[in-house]
Amino acid sequence: MTHERPETLDSLRRPLRDLRISVTDRCNLRCAYCMPREVFGQEFVFLRHADLLSFEEIVRIARQCVTLGVRKIRISGGEPLLRRGIERLVEMLARLHGEGGKPIELAMTSNGTLLAKKARALKDAGLARLNISLDALDEAVFRRMSGGRSSPAAVLEGIAAAQAAGFAPLKLNTVIKRGVNESEILPLLDHFRHSGIIVRFIEYMDVGESNGWRLDDVVTVREMLTRIDAEYPLQPIDARSPGEVAQRWEYVDGGGEIGVIASVTQPFCGDCGRLRLSTDGKLYPCLFAAEGVDLRAPLRGGENDLQLQRRIAAAWAARADRYSQRRHAASGSSVRKIEMSYIGG
């Protein structure tokens, strides 16, 4: 007889389900909405290597989270492919099993620019899913979005390598910023229709303190869908699982699936079961949390697995965050928000 573990619930009765791990706070791009180059320039001080969690430390924490109910782990950053030996971490995390011996679902989000060389090794190491970020196909627009770094050709090469390695269905993430890349919505869809690749458009969010976010810069999902539907009629598809952040749509003409993520205008805090682990070992129960719970000091101080597990469970139990639902009430607050590159998008 198998005994089901009780779920680990937060103060709003949301179960702990997903863990996002930032494996580096560094990136080779300088997307204006995430790590604008004026802020993340030559003088910016990134974490020292000794401050980063080692792979062994990450896996120990991840294992406790899995025991507490996590079913899905996403490796993120910064740019995760910049972390040396990332395939080894993938291999270690892919061995974790959840409730009833079920393997956890292991995913990664990458900007794709370094993927051409890495896709095969990631697949072989046990990575199940890959999301690749691509904000434009037009070279000039891409470079406006990426802070002048890299090119759409490099990302397309990474996408081709990921497909050849067998990642399917591949999902692309595109953040739309008004007046910068909204002109790329239809070209991206033209390019990826009938390819089996799912393009997902994301509303530009007010994460961190660096990007100078203004509501006027947000192109709403409703607006995006109206534009897309006028060119390519769409019909909705049912959500695969509760807590899924993307709304799924398909082309009426059979061209495939697309997604939209209305993080600003239709917040999904009610179902949010995501816990984030920063590069230096702090737990953040919300993308917009200001304070993290440090696990690195207790871990390095010799705490055992059960003690760590209790810390994680306590951090989750205390969780009352639902920033996106309260955005208007929260705007103007003096509490500093943490950068996305540090806690993993």
**Which residues here bind ligand SAM, judged by CB under 6 A?**
27, 33-34, 76-77, 79, 109-111, 133, 173, 175, 202, 204-205, 207, 211, 340-341, 345
Q: Which helix (H) or strand (E) holds 106?
A: strand 105-110
Q: Can you read off the two tokens belonging to residue 88?
A: 């080894």
Piece in contact with ligand SF4 (CB under 6 A), picked from 22-30, 57-65, 186-194, 219-227 = 22-30
272, 275, 295, 312: which one contacts ligand SF4 (CB under 6 A)? 272
- At 245, the amino acid letter reads V
Q: How far is the CB of 79 from ligand SF4 (least distance, A)?
A: 5
Phi, psi for 340 (deg, rounded to 5):
-65, -35
Q: Is 240 exposed, middle or buried (0-12, 13-18, 19+ CB in 10 A)?
A: exposed
Closer residue to ligand SF4 (CB): 78 or 281: 78
Q: Is the CB of residue 111 less than 8 Å from the CB of residue 79?
A: yes
Please name which of 125, 122, 97 lies closest in space to residue 109, comparing C-alpha atoms: 122
Of residues 67 and 181, the one with the C-beta less far from ligand SAM:
181
Q: Which of ligand SF4, ligand SAM, none is residue 211 near (CB under 5 to 8 Å by kind)?
A: ligand SAM
Q: Which of 130, 202, 264, 287 binds ligand SF4 (CB under 6 A)?
A: 287
> Is residue 142 involved in binding ligand SF4 (CB under 6 A)?
no
Q: Which is nearer to ligand SF4, 287 or 295 (CB)?
A: 287
Q: How far is the CB of 81 from ligand SAM (least distance, A)?
A: 8
State the binding partner of 8 from ligand SAM, ligand SF4, none, CB within 5 to 8 A by kind: none
Q: Which stretch binds ligand SF4 (CB under 6 A): 86-94, 185-193, 236-244, 322-330?
A: 322-330
CB of 170 to ligand SF4, least distance (A): 17
* Helix boundaries (H) for 68-168: 86-94, 115-125, 139-145, 152-165
Stretch that binds ligand SF4, among 62-70, 99-107, 182-190, 281-289 (CB under 6 A): 281-289
Of 107, 78, 102, the closest CA to residue 90 belongs to 107
Question: Tokens standing for 234?
Answer: 């769409």
Calculate the CA dihedral of residues 119, 124, 70, 86 and round it to 10 degrees. Answer: -60
Which residue carries 């994680």 as its tokens?
312
In the list ligand SAM, ligand SF4, none, the entry touching 287 (Cβ below 5 to 8 angstroms by class) is: ligand SF4
Closest approach of ligand SF4 to the CB of residue 26, in Å? 9
Q: Closest distance between ligand SF4 and the C-beta of residue 172, in Å?
A: 13
Binder of residue 202, out of ligand SAM, ligand SF4, none (CB less than 5 to 8 A by kind): ligand SAM
d(CA 53, CA 61): 10
| 57, 81, 121, 170, 317 from 117: Cα distances, Å | 26, 10, 8, 17, 41
Helix crossing, 115-125 with 152-165: angle to 10°? 30
Torsions phi, psi for 250 (to 5 deg): -135, 155
DSSP-assigned letters across all residues of 262-300: -TTTS--GGG--EEEE-TTSEEESSTT-S--EE-HHHHH
Select 31 or 313, whichever has its Cβ closest to ligand SAM: 31
Question: Taking CB within 5 to 8 Å according to partner kind, which of ligand SF4, ligand SAM, none is near residue 204?
Answer: ligand SAM
| Shortest distance, position 65 Cβ to ligand SF4, whole Å | 16
CA 322 – CA 286 distance, rounded (Å): 8
Judged by CB under 6 A, does residue 286 bind ligand SF4? yes
341 near ligand SF4, rule: CB under 6 A: yes
Q: Which is nearer to ligand SF4, 15 or 91 (CB)?
A: 15
**Interface positions with ligand SF4 (CB under 6 A):** 27, 29-31, 34-35, 77-79, 111, 133, 267-269, 272, 274, 286-288, 321-324, 341
